[in-house]
Amino acid sequence: MPTATRGERRVSPVFLALVAIMGVSIWAVWTDFSASPGFAVFLFVVSGWVVSLCLHEYAHARTALHGGDLTVGAKGYLTLDPLKYTHALLSIVLPVIFVIMGGIGLPGGAVFIERHRIRGRWKHSMISAAGPLTNAAFAVVVTAPFWLGTMDGVPDHFRYALGFMAQLQVTAAILNFLPVPGLDGYGVIEPWLSYKVRRQVEPFAPFGILAVFGFLWIPEVNHAFFDMIDAVLRSLDVTAWDTYWGQELFRFWQGTPDIPPLSGIVL
């Protein structure tokens, strides 16, 4: 069974610091401790988003390890350290910018898998699928208080922050499963394509994520996409009210929004 040394699997202090920031920001949102509730929500969402990005890439690396690529341990991918990723711009910076600009969760490719070490098309497909499946699992966890009916008594700002976080995870899972070169969805089907097709598509891979983001700026595409996202979130008992005010709070630089009290409103 492929494995890695204890040192290669030791959780990075950088990741632990991110988790600590997320924990402190959760407390600040829950207690309304911060003078700017929007900044506390911003810190919670961004730190939680980066934590989910680390878990997304860890899932790729861990699946690759069990698929036969022992080099992922030596590269530091199993430590959950975002500084070890091969494309920090695509992995951390661009996804955070996408969140700030449009509330879109879109992780980028980060870990370099030595595919020649892995035998079997199913293994290659599972390595690619592991990342967005992690986002889907994160979405289930974040939305659990909603679909379990345990939101009574939860502070409104925390509820909205969770709703916006859920939107990011659902968009990340769905967008990453698109069969677009450069995204994980294409990585799932790529092993099943002919060599000729793969060679023809390969030059477009670096631009796939930017192309998707560009299409989402088309109003008709954007509306249709977010209608689908809202439908998925409604099935998890997260309403458009929750995600809207979560995103408004997140944009703290626009000032604190005047949110109507949740009591008396039927969601």
Residue 79 near residue 9 (C-beta atoms within 8 A) = yes
Residue type, 258: D
Sequence-ordered list of residues with C-beta below 8 angstroms from that of 198, at least 6 positions apart, any chain: 190
Q: Could you please report the per-residue DSSP string of 120-148?
A: -HHHHHHHHHHHHHHHHHHHHHHHHHHHT
DSSP 267: -
Place of tokens 């990011």: 168
Residue 267 near residue 241 (C-beta atoms within 8 A) = yes
Active centre residues (catalytic): 57
Count of C-beta atoms within a 10 Å radius of residue 234: 12
Q: Which among 113, 107, 77, 83 is positioned nearest to 95, based on CA atoms?
A: 107
